[in-house]
Structure 1
Amino acid sequence: MEAYKLKSKTEDSESFSRGQQQGVQQTLDGDIVPEMPKVRTTEGYMVDWDKNVIIKQLTKETKLAEKFFNISQVSYEDAKEIADLAEDRIRSMNIQFLSGPLIREIVNTLLIEKGHVEWRNICTRVGTPVYDAFEIDTGAGFEANDNANLQDNAETSHKKKADKISKEQYTLMLPPKLADLHLNGDLHIHDLEYFGTRPFCQDHDLRYFFYYGLMPDGSGTKASVAGPAKNAEVAVLHAVKALGSAQTNFAGGQGFYNFLTFLAPYMENKDYNEIKQLMQMFVYEMTQMMVARGGQLVFSSVQLSPGVPELWVDKPVVSHGTVHDGYYAEHRTYGEFEREVRLTFKALMEVMLDGDYWGKPFNFPKPEISIEPQFMEEDEEFNKQHPELPTYEDLYDLSFELAAKFGTPYFDNQLPPYRGAGKGISCYQCCAYQFSADEDNDADFEDKLYFKEGKHFSMGAWQVLTLNCPRSAYRANGDYDALISDLKRLMNRSVEVFLAKKQWMDYIIDNNRMPFASQRPKDPITGEKGSILVDTDSLVYTIGIIGINEMVQYYTGNQLHESKEAFRLAVRVMTELEMYAKDLSNKYGMQIALARTPAETTGQRFAVADLLQKDFASKAEQVIKGDVESAKQKLSKDHDLPVYYTNGTHIPPSADISIIDRINYEHTFFPIVDGGNIMHIWMGEAHPDPKGLKQFALNIAKNTQTGYFAFTKDMTVCMDDFHVADGLKDNCPNCGSDNVEFLSRVTGYIQAVGGWNEAKKQELEDRKRYASVDML
């Protein structure tokens, strides 16, 4: 190198001596070059420079390119060329300190310069700037209000840092064209931080744990293994801990379908007070375990029927570590436990009506009240024999008393013919995703009913993706064929994401990184390995939709409720998308469901993404909901803005229409959106008569296609005197303090408003509330 040429022997001698002290070395041809500094490794060691490490790392790490991008790994020759260039570049920098991350940045720059983007994506680092990490520690910055269920604690900070790294990792490992669709806001990959490690959500068969016991770590090596529960208290605690343990393997909600029927054998012959105490223990355990991802409560739900569903009346009981089928144990059926189901339903409703010590509602587990044809008429013979027990009407009355007081319950309407009540099983999970099983789509359905050889039901989703429907309308610019073509293009890309998810999850399963879900406990009868907990082959893939209202508004100039043309367009588009989802399911051999997305974050994210892009901004401004002008002013500084697209196929929350009109529009989409939907009725601070509310709700159930609905109350909690008041009030009506927190339903669950993002707070302000049953 010319700058270090020797001038004379004397100069050479003196210069070399100084060079040894200053970090230079002499080459054989007489040149003097800077000596390479030692390297500070990410493992915490100081080592000598060795460019062969680069060669080894490149040839090792780019093996992933074969798995994820279907391109060959780097050759030895290419790796050596990159290592030589990296050494020359580092030497030219004349630096005293060298770290592993700096070397990697230089290598990645060279890979990009050479046109090897996929190799660079595999070899790059993921992480976060120190400043961003500090903001997360103090509750600000990255996704500070993306999940209202998260708490203000150190575990949340730890989760956010991990989320940030994981999201960066998975966008780099996805094929660039798919990653760009997510980053650009064409579609949204939900729970991206868990994309490569976990399925989405799951509803469990409680019989499994009552037969096998509890193995919370899935392997039995890290935690103690409990045998099957022999008494009610242990059974309840096993149910609690099963849901908590499942959170380690899943990204979303966990629940139990048919909860009361399967639990009933443990309540046999117990008096009501004891049953109520057990239900109180269950609810408090579920709402006091800050053990889920990032130190949050377990996102949980339980499906509740007021009696034993007809499907289960003659099925053998599974409890106490055996199947009561007359072979392994005395023959007993769930129909024998009608008394226990009714009393447990009553107890659970009364516990939730009491609220917690302050009088606040319980936000978890979400009570899913099943409205079934069987329970619309009384079992008169049973009622005559047991006059001391509550009737179905009594129990439904309690659930609507709870709805009127707190807005807690969700109503799972199985009366419409499309729900297929009595012919199979179905459940709602997370924030309203629907899953089902019947003889037509489950070859082992009958065996699962009888728990034959441990076969049981497990219903859930691998992954959820959501399409930015308004953007497709912006691109189509009034051309229907172009609109449908763009939406189908995004559905095709969604399938590619699903296939990548399945490939990655195969690696996870093969490496036993999903131990709870894939556990095979000791069979209490045979002593051999039992059946696997979660049948991953039965998990569905869900494509969600957002902003159908804004899509038709841009296309027609009217919102869903403002013209027949707009409404018909929405129905036509959704029908085509549902049919195409079925075509894709058949083509790729995977079950793809179309769903309304709850959109706690996604409705805002899509709206902000469209405002940020010059191709869509002027169009988006015409239809986006919320405070658009305020958002535009803050857009360059912040992305947590008070703007949003309307959830799913909903009428905008601010639409000034009667609740009857709202129902008449929204119920049409339920049979189409087979992956899950919900209708929200915002009551504000109203406290309607429970019987009137019940009558109104049953009219919805009997006369519309609405499959799932909830009545939402707004509440204020004083943080000084702990008073709970109806409505959103700036000051406590009891003591006058302004130190208050609001409670309402954010998407599919009740939570403190302080943790909501700006878009959901704006939506809360925009909501059209129906103040009394007369208005309903």
Structure 2
Amino acid sequence: MSFDRHGFGYSKVGRGNVSPVTINLPKIGIRHGICLGERDKADLDGFWRELDEILKLTEKALVERYAYICSQNPKAAPFMYINHTMRGFNNKNISSVMKHGSQAIGLIGVAEMCEALFGKNHVDMSARNFALQVIEHISDFAKEASERNDLNFGVYFTPAEGCCYTICKKLKDEFGIISNITDKEFLTNSIHVPVWEEVTPFEKIDIEAPFCKLGTSGCITYVEFDSKIINNLDAVETVINYAMDNNIPYFAINFPLDTCCDCHYQGDIPSEGCPVCNSKNIERLARVTGYLTSDVSHFNQGKQDEVKRRFKHMK
């Protein structure tokens, strides 16, 4: 949680993001990168210029949203104050509460942005260094916007439960199929390593850790295992400790829980069917975004495509 300049400091209690606006980084990358074959070298001056224009528009949108929210009648949601879900209410106006929250500058698709600009994602060190400059630039802008507006602006690594699909579809409609960018049904979540990259859990943490300290309005790093990991608790503890040693503020371990609805076998069940009774009546429980679902099929086709492509970081 970003620092509250109005008295609550770094405390998370009774605060939250007032509203996020997510920046489509891949689109800026496509417009100024090499992926369309219009140039041999990325136009980085054009990239930075357009990013600054988008940041100014994002600031304007967040300030206008904040003003609109604060104009509402406090009687609309009294339980928020009675139960101290939101702290600081002065019994007069909503701004007394909302000023403690964050104006979240969200972002999506750092991997696709790098791919569009340079033909490689940020698993590559040179692309990673540029990506880190981009996030640091957004972070600096957030600090300046906080001063300009006397509000708490922060950097938000958007979970993108829905817009991972909708933004990718719009890019596909506008630019066509571009390898490793729009040739799938989703954009990669925030600063994450693409799900198909065959890296170890430690390599994934090493790549994402320098970014995470900048995600002051929300971030997550996860590693993907198969269900057998529950029989190797020493390995789980080792990976968690490594994440903590690298100052990952929010860390998760994903593994599937597939259940045959006929014979009740549990484990990694292949698409062909249950290994015990051959049934195809399978419930597939997975941590698709920030939540556990009753079945992966309930999510949009972007998230379903992402789950299918996920590499298990088991080495």
Matches within 5 A, 1:381-400: none
Q: CA offsets, 1:283-338, max 9 Å, x none?
A: xxxxxxxxxxxxxxxxxxxxxxxxxxxxxxxxxxxxxxxxxxxxxxxxxxxxxxxx
Per-residue CA deviation, residues 702-755 of structure 1 (Å, 9 max, x unaligned), is 2x132211111112122334x251224343344432111111111112212020
User: For each residue in 1:503-535, what CA deviation from the matched residue of structure 2 results, as whole angstroms up to 9, or x when unmatched?
Assistant: 32233225x2222224499xxxxxxxx976982
| Equivalent position amino acid for 1:592 in 2 | F
Cα pair distance change 1:764/1:582, threshold 3 Å: same
* 1: CA distance, partners of 2:13 / 2:286: 33
Q: Secondary structure at the match of 2:99?
A: helix
| Amino acid in structure 1 at the alignment position of 2:64 | A
Contact 1:554 1:622 in 2 (8 A): no
1:698 equivalent in alignment to 2:221: no
User: Alignment partner for residue 270 of structure 2, among 729, 733, 742?
Assistant: 729
Alignment of 1:508-657 (within 5 A): 508-509=72-73, 512-519=75-82, 535-562=97-124, 564-613=125-174, 617-618=175-176, 621-624=178-181, 628=183, 642-657=184-199
Which residues in structure 2 correspond to 1:93-108 (within 5 Å)?
none
Please list, as runs of the form range in 1=range in 2, the aligned pairs for 1:700-719 lying within 5 A after superposition: 700-702=243-245, 704-719=246-261
Instruction: Work out the CA distance in 1 between the residues paired with 2:20 and 2:137.
Output: 19
* 2:158/2:189 contact within 8 Å kept: yes
Gaps of 5+ in 1: 1-433, 449-455, 522-529, 629-641
Distance 1:589 1:531, change over 3 A: closer
Alignment of 1:54-69 (within 5 A): none
- 1:658 matched to 2:219? The reply is no
User: Which among 473, 483, 491 is matched to residue 47 of structure 2?
Assistant: 483
Report the TM-score when normalising by structure 2.
0.85
Q: Is the 8 A contact 1:643 1:762 kept in 2?
A: yes
Residues in 1 aligned to 2:143 and 2:3: alpha-carbon distance in whole angstroms: 16
Counterpart residue type for residue 464 of structure 1: P
1:164-215 CA deviation, whole Å, 9 max, x = no partner? xxxxxxxxxxxxxxxxxxxxxxxxxxxxxxxxxxxxxxxxxxxxxxxxxxxx
**Paired AA for residue 558 in structure 1:** K
Q: Which residue of structure 1 lines up, in the alignment, with residue 39 of structure 2? A: none
Q: Which has the larger radius of gyration?
A: 1
- Corresponding residue pairs, total: 296
Residues 716 and 729 in structure 1, CA contact (< 8 A), matched pair in contact too: no
Q: Could you list the per-position Cα deviations for residues 650-690 of structure 1 after superposition, in whole angstroms to 9, with x for gaps in the alignment?
A: 11000122222222111110112222211111002322411
Query: Deviation at 1:490?
Result: 1.6
Given the superposition, is the C-alpha separation of residues 489 and 724 from structure 1 closer, same or farther in structure 2, using an over 3 Å criterion? farther
The CA distance in 2 between the partners of 1:746 and 1:652, in whole Å, is 14
Q: Distance in 2 between matches of 1:735 and 1:707?
A: 42
Scaled by the length of structure 1, the TM-score of the pair is 0.36
**C-alpha RMSD of the superposition:** 2.6
User: Gaps (5+ residues) in structure 2?
Assistant: 34-41
What residue identity is the alignment partner of 2:50? D
Compute the displacement of 1:435 (Å). 5.3
Verify: 1:468 aligned to 2:24, yes or no.
Answer: yes
Partner SS for 1:681: strand
Q: Describe the shift of the 1:706–1:569 C-alpha distance in structure 2 as closer, same or farther (beyond 3 A).
A: same
CA distance in 2, matches of 1:760, 1:748: 12
User: 1:208-229: per-residue Cα shift (whole Å, max 9, x none)?
Assistant: xxxxxxxxxxxxxxxxxxxxxx
Q: Is the 8 A contact 1:459 1:538 kept in 2?
A: yes
| Correspondence 1:257-276 to 2 at 5 A | none
Q: Tell me the SS of whatever aligns to 1:692.
A: helix
Contact 2:20 2:104 in 1 (8 A): yes
Highest relative contact order (Cα 8 Å, sep 6+), 1 or 2?
A: 2
Secondary structure of 1:669's counterpart equals: helix
Q: Is the 8 A contact 1:463 1:540 kept in 2?
A: yes
